[in-house]
Each structure stands twice: as C-alpha cells, then as structure tokens.
Amino acid sequence: MTAAPGTLLIEAARRAGIEIPAFCYYPGLSLQAACRMCLVEIEKAPKLQTACTVPVSEGMVVRTNTPKVHDARRSMLEFLLTNHPLDCPVCDKGGECELQDMVFRYGASFSRFREEKRHTDEEKWSPVVYYDGPRCILCYRCVRVCNEGMDVSALAIVNRGGRTLIGPNAGGHLDCEQCGMCIDICPVGALTSGSYRHQARPWELHYVPTICTHCGDGCKTTLSVRNNRVLRGNNRDQSGINGEFLCIKGRYAFDFLHHPERLTQPLVRQEGKLVPATWAQALRAVAARFRQLLEQGSAFGIIGSNHAGNETAYLLQKFARAGLRTNNIDHHRTADYAALIAALARSGVRPADRLAGSRDLLTARAVLLIGNNPTEQHPLLAWNMRTNVRLNKGRLYVVNHRAIKLERQATATLRIEEGRAGALLDFLAGQTTAGQPPALQPWNEFRDRLRAESDLLVVFGDEIKGDGIARLVAFGNTLGGVTRYIALGDYNNSRGASDMGLLPGSLPGYAPVEDAVVRARFEAEWNVTLPPGPGLALDEMIAAAGDGRLGALYVVGANPLKRYNLNAGSSFLVVQDMFLTETARQADVVLPAAAVYEVNGTVTNTCGELQRIRQALGTNGPRADLEIIGLIAKETGISLGPVGSEEVFDEIRRLVNGYNVAMAGLAAGEAVPTAPADGRDASLGRPDLVHSSGDTLFTSGTLGQYSDMLEAVRRH
C-alpha cells in the first residue's frame, strides 16, 4: 500500500482498513508510545515496534496479525486488567468503554492475576469532573487534551511507577475551563461527568444530535435522552463542525430544561397579578387586545430572540410586518452582520466569497483577531485558532484592549486603548509609514507584519461595527490574496435573527424596507401591503412603550427590560419565554415557550453556517415559539400561510438572500454555509445598538441563570 511520507504506521493502516489497536495514540495530540497496544512486527527490527511512533517508509514490511503481535496485545490487556476493576456492570462507562471493546476483541478470556489490587478513593474534582484512579489506564489523553488542545494545563501526572495517577491543579480540585474534554476523551470510566454519572446505561438512551443553544459558534451536541429527560450532551461521534470539541455549555448547560422554575402554563394578569390560565384563555386575551389595537391603529413593537430558530425569527417578522403592519421589530444585536455584508458587497465582491466558515480557522495561514475574547465567548472558534497554530503552523495576530488568553498562541499582539479600534483600522488601511510618533511604532510593526501576509482571515468582535467594518474591509482589500471575515455575535441564532430580518430597517436577507422594489417582492409573496419606512429600534421601542406610545409590546425569547432597566408602561406586554424573566414579570400575558432543544428547525451560527436543530424532548405545557406565533395570528384573524417549521423553512430558502441552500447536506446533519450574494443596499441604522453581552464560559445571558450546573461551576 502507499501513504504520504511521514504518515504514522497506525494511520496508514487505518486508512487501509487495518485496525491497529491503541489507547494512548490520539490523532492531533502528541505521541506517547505508552500503552504499547499498537506493537507490530516490522521486518528487520529485532523487537516489536509501536505503530504510533514509526512513520511509513519505502519498502517497509509490517505484520499486524501474527501470533507474536497477538500475544503482545493479549499480554498488554492482561497487564491493564490487573489493577482495573472488573465491575463493568456498575461502571459508568460500561457499554461505551474502549477497554471493554479491546478486551472483547483482543484479550484473554480469563485473568491470571491473583494478587491484591491497589485502591484509591474516587475524587470529585469539580461539579462536572470526577476521577476514579483505579480505573485510569494512564493513556494521558486527558492531560494532553487539556495541555495541548485547551491550553489550560489543569491536569498533570503525579507520582511514579505503580502509584502514578492523574492529578488536578488546585489542591485536589480543578481550577479550569470545565470543558469536560478530559471526560469525553477518556477511553475508560476513570473520568466521569458530574451531571451524567450513574444515571443510565448508554444503550438505554435515545440520542438526538442538535445544535447547542448557547454561544454563536453552533457546535453540535448530541443529547442523550431517557424518560423525556436530557441526561447528557456530548459529541462523541465527532460529526459536527466542532469535531471532538465541546465546552461546558454544550456539554452540561442543558439542565435549564428541567429547572423547577420552568414555566409550564400560560399566565394572565388579573387584578395586577399573574395567574395561571389555559392556553385558550391566554391566546384569546392576546388576540382580543391585538385586534382592538389594530382597529385603533395603535403602534406595536416586537422584540425577537437570539436563541429561537430561523423559522421563529422569520415568522415573527412576517407576523409583525404583514400582520401587525409594523417595522417596529428588533432584537438584541450582538454583531453588525448587516454592515459586514454591505461593506463587502459595496467593495465589489460577493459577500459569500469573503465570509469564512468556522473550520476555515483550522487551515487559515494567518488569522487576525480584533477584540472579543473567544476563549470565553467563542470556545469553538478559539479551539480552532489554537489548533491551527499548533498543528498547521497557522499564524495568529491579536489586537485587543485587554489581555486575552489567545495571545499565548499569537505570532504578534497589539494592545490598544479601549475604543481605539477605529483609529487603528484607519491606520491599517492607510498608506502612511513615516513620521509617526514613537507610540505608533508598535502599530507600524504590526501593520508591516500583516501586510506581509496574504489570505488573511479577520475575526472581530463588537468593537468593530457600522462604518468601522467598512474601514476594516478597506484594509482587507489592501492585502494580498483573499481576505475573509468572521463577525462574532453572541448566541446560537444571533446571526439567524439578523439574517431573518429582526431589524427595523431590513426585511429578511438585509433587504431594505425603504426600497419599494424590494418590498414589492415580499408583498407579492405575502399578499399584503408592507409598511414602507423603517420602524423603531430596540431602545426606541422600549422608550415608546414606557411613555405610552406603543399599544403593545410583544417579546419573544428576550429579556430587554432587564437590559434597559425600564418598564413597559401602559403598553400591553406579551412575553413568550421559558422562564419568568424580569421582562415576563411585567407582562400582561406570559406564554410558556419550548426551548431550542424541544423543537425542530434551523439555526445559523455566527459564521453563517446553517444547521438543523432537532427536537429531543416533548413538552408538557410549553409550546414551540413558531406554534405560538401561528396561534396568536390565527386568533387575531391574520393569515400567515402555513406555519409548520418545514413550510416556513421552504419560504426562507426561497426568499432570504443566501439561504437557498442544498437540502441534502442539511438533512444529513451537516453545516451548510449560507451564501449572501449581495447586500449593498442593506439598511445600516443604529450601529450603536450592537453590543455583546460579554458572556463568559460560565454565563449565557438570561438562559444561563437557569442552569444549575453553570451556577455550581461559578461557585466552585
């Protein structure tokens, strides 16, 4: 057989369909040669050799299936089992344990070990990580993924010889990012998950692959469900854009689903108090008031969600525009996607060609990161940037007003004062090199280094918005090759909310509402006349509600009154949410909504990659946002056409710039890049509203408050 020079024997064999067993070998991590499972016969070598360390060479003759090799494997497994507890029926890993599988395939049917096993007590290292020393086979995968993959180095090898164990960094505890990568990578039941351990057998579980509902990176998390409860999240089959990666939120922060404060029935305000009501009563109350206000010609305001799927966002703006006849619609904007698409289009390129995908960060020759702190806010993208530097010799340039962890991987770092990003962009785009004051010397050097790069991938946070993005693109156009961009937005469907037109000036796909030709296209589809001018933005709606200029404020999956610390005044406030948030507490009607993990649909991550979300649980009481919007419309007497998620998605594909994607990949669970073809006319009002929440690894907006696991880790 043939393989590229430098390919390790174990990989070459795998590609040829020959399994060479191994525990310590793990693609992408440093080589160990410690477990000795991959010993093979190589012609002319006097001893068996480890296939995980020997690269292939011309004319090499290797035997993987000889009695000598089998004996070696069998004896390695026998050694492993001398101290490993043989209690698979009660081990948390039973049924998905690599050691169990290896013994089944290569091991002896009985053990000759008659001596006493050594014992150490199980240790709780954090709310999410437990360690059981005797089960540990010392493959060091956990140590390596933490050091090399995460750049956290919270785990170390302690003691030596037969007393060797893995130890945590903070005196018996873990002070780390709590990502749980160590648990997922553990081939045996040595590292177990605080939320899942001893809850179920893996073969009893129903596995539902969906997209994490927290940050904007769009990791696939496979939810393990039993008895209508989610017991764990992971990505064991590595099928998502995130490969093997998940952070604490994707892995553990699903527990809000089962939070005791979860709303299960509608609430209607009576005599100043929110009291439980039936769905019929609540919907009637909403519809009656909406009808009345429509007849009075009162203004409506609609605030949408960063979490709910594209279908919900799309239908909500359709309901607002076609049904309630208003462009007063917005959401908490966390990245200025509109400005990026517009700036690219106006600079004469097709935006789709310049918007990078999340995996492009793994292969980019050079990445420029301006602002944000991806380690906390975009853990997958941070992982990709680190991996690119570590394995692919990519270069990372970091600009920030504060120290961020990714600087450790940076080829060059430029610290700027807060609020100076715009000035820096002017400098970068400008031609001036001489006569700068000495303080600008670092700027000069940094610009020189960037100019020496080509095919730069620029990743930026909310520090750059509005006109700043136009300047960034202008700079990008001065560089060689194809400069590509990723704008960093906060939540799982922040990009989708924006793309779907939860914006006062934009119809879906950044189609400007003021453009009669554009409007005409949607009017024809929706069979209505659309309001022509831009509506009120988020803060304007809140202010208008407060001083009685809005008849009603309809909030779907958002908590704006907390952010603006305002009240809804005399407006009729309808809130659709999972919890009685600060906003919901002021509502006249509260409608219990299903979570992202309880519905089907699609979401778009911050890179514009479209992925399917799948319903993992049935709900008893709450209803899907999409369904609720449909019911309100129906009760109000407004026709929105078909409101099933698939029908709405068909409409999205047909009408939204960039969303006419091939269905096959999406149906297969892949991430499909959206491809906005244009956007030069996008409405760019109010970039001042673009503001990241600055979530950390252990917070997730309002939703994060209802995750006990995140709360426990914050306290740990």
**In angstroms, rounded to a whole number, what is the distance separating the alpha carbons of residues 679 and 165?**
57
Q: Quote the tokens at residue 588.
A: 């006249």
CB closer to another protein, 164 vs 705: 164
Please tell me whether residue 72 binds another protein under the rule CB under 8 A: yes
Min separation Cβ 101 and another protein, Å: 17
Please tell me whether residue 164 binds another protein under the rule CB under 8 A: yes
Min separation Cβ 68 and another protein, Å: 10
Please tell me whether residue 80 binds another protein under the rule CB under 8 A: yes
Q: Quote the tokens at residue 660.
A: 């006419």
CB closer to another protein, 169 vs 567: 169
CA nearest neighbour of 678 among 694, 707, 658, 701: 658
Please tell me whether residue 79 binds another protein under the rule CB under 8 A: yes
Min separation Cβ 94 and another protein, Å: 22
Q: Contact with another protein (CB under 8 A): which of 4, 86, 158, 288?
A: 158
CB closer to another protein, 154 vs 219: 154
Min separation Cβ 698 and another protein, Å: 21
* Residues pairing with 673 in the sheet: 609
Q: Contact with another protein (CB under 8 A): which of 157, 280, 288, 520?
A: 157
Task: Identify whether the C-beta of residue 217 lies closer than 8 Å to the C-beta of residue 381.
Answer: yes
Min separation Cβ 236 and another protein, Å: 25
CB closer to another protein, 44 vs 273: 44
Q: Contact with another protein (CB under 8 A): which of 8, 38, 62, 76?
A: 76
Provide DSSP, 304-333: --SSS-HHHHHHHHHIIIIIS----EE---
Q: What angle in degrees, to the nearest 10, is found between the helix axes of 645-655 and 516-526?
A: 150
Min separation Cβ 31 and another protein, Å: 6
Q: What is the CA radius of gyration of the chain?
A: 28
Please tell me whether residue 156 binds another protein under the rule CB under 8 A: yes
**In angstroms, rounded to a whole number, what is the distance separating the alpha carbons of residues 29 and 40?**
21
- The upper half-sphere exposure of residue 578, i.e. CA atoms within 13 Å in the direction of its Cβ, equals 24
**Part in contact with another protein (CB under 8 A); list of ranges 161-169, 181-189, 595-603, 632-640:** 161-169
Q: Contact with another protein (CB under 8 A): which of 64, 83, 312, 492?
A: 83
Q: Contact with another protein (CB under 8 A): which of 62, 137, 286, 414?
A: 137
CB closer to another protein, 35 vs 342: 35
Run of H or E including 80: helix 67-83
CB closer to another protein, 73 vs 354: 73
| Alpha carbon 459 to its chain's center | 16
Ranges within 17-56 binding another protein (CB under 8 A): 31-36, 39, 47-48, 53
CB closer to another protein, 37 vs 181: 37
- Rounded to 5°, angle at Cα 477 from 473 and 483: 80
* Residues pairing with 165 in the sheet: 158
**Part in contact with another protein (CB under 8 A); list of ranges 71-79, 354-362, 363-371, 666-674:** 71-79
Please tell me whether residue 161 binds another protein under the rule CB under 8 A: yes
Q: Contact with another protein (CB under 8 A): which of 10, 103, 128, 138?
A: 138
Q: Contact with another protein (CB under 8 A): which of 7, 82, 239, 265?
A: 82
Ranges within 396-435 binding another protein (CB under 8 A): none
Cβ neighbours of residue 227 under 8 Å, at least 6 residues apart? none
Q: Contact with another protein (CB under 8 A): which of 21, 133, 149, 167?
A: 167
Cα end-to-end distance, the chain, whole Å: 53
Cβ neighbours of residue 232 under 8 Å, at least 6 residues apart? 193, 195, 196, 199, 223, 224, 251
Q: Contact with another protein (CB under 8 A): which of 15, 105, 124, 163?
A: 163
CB closer to another protein, 135 vs 307: 135
Min separation Cβ 166 and another protein, Å: 10
Min separation Cβ 19 and another protein, Å: 19
| Alpha carbon 44 to its chain's center | 50
Q: Contact with another protein (CB under 8 A): which of 66, 159, 278, 392?
A: 159
Min separation Cβ 263 and another protein, Å: 44
Min separation Cβ 147 and another protein, Å: 10
Min separation Cβ 97 and another protein, Å: 17
| Alpha carbon 14 to its chain's center | 31
CB closer to another protein, 65 vs 292: 65
Min separation Cβ 158 and another protein, Å: 5
Task: Identify whether the C-beta of residue 349 lies closer than 8 Å to the C-beta of residue 473.
Answer: no
CA dihedral 257, 258, 264, 267 (to 10 degrees): -80
Mark residues 92-121: x for contact with another protein by CB under 8 A, - for none. --------------------xxxxx-x---
The side-by-side arrangement of strands in the sheet containing 601-604 is 601-604, 609-613, 672-673
**In angstroms, rounded to a whole number, what is the distance separating the alpha carbons of residues 116 and 210?**
46
CB closer to another protein, 65 vs 278: 65
**Part in contact with another protein (CB under 8 A); list of ranges 153-161, 432-440, 450-458, 538-546:** 153-161
CB closer to another protein, 35 vs 497: 35
**Part in contact with another protein (CB under 8 A); list of ranges 91-99, 167-175, 206-214, 592-600:** 167-175
418: alpha, beta or left? (left if phi > 0; alpha if psi -120 to 50): beta
The residue written with tokens 């006419």 in the block is 660
**In angstroms, rounded to a whole number, what is the distance separating the alpha carbons of residues 659 and 116?**
64
CB closer to another protein, 82 vs 199: 82
What amino acid occupies position 356? A
CA nearest neighbour of 285 among 555, 590, 570, 620: 590
Min separation Cβ 214 and another protein, Å: 29
Min separation Cβ 395 and another protein, Å: 22
Ranges within 209-268 binding another protein (CB under 8 A): none
Q: Is the dihedral of CA 391, 394, 400, 402 positive or negative?
A: positive
Q: Contact with another protein (CB under 8 A): which of 57, 153, 264, 639?
A: 153
CA nearest neighbour of 598 among 630, 624, 628, 626: 624
**In angstroms, rounded to a whole number, what is the distance separating the alpha carbons of residues 406 and 402?**
11
CB closer to another protein, 168 vs 509: 168
CB closer to another protein, 39 vs 459: 39
Min separation Cβ 159 and another protein, Å: 5
For residue 662, give Cα distances in angstroms to 83, 371, 502, 508. Answer: 53, 34, 24, 19
Size of residue set near another protein by CB under 8 A: 44
DSSP 88: G
Task: Identify whether the C-beta of residue 665 lies closer than 8 Å to the C-beta of residue 319.
Answer: no
Q: Contact with another protein (CB under 8 A): which of 75, 265, 444, 478?
A: 75
**In angstroms, rounded to a whole number, what is the distance separating the alpha carbons of residues 138 and 130?**
15
What amino acid occupies position 43? E
Q: Binding residues for another protein, per CB under 8 A? A: 31-36, 39, 47-48, 53, 71-72, 75-76, 78-80, 82-83, 112-116, 118, 137-138, 153-164, 167-171
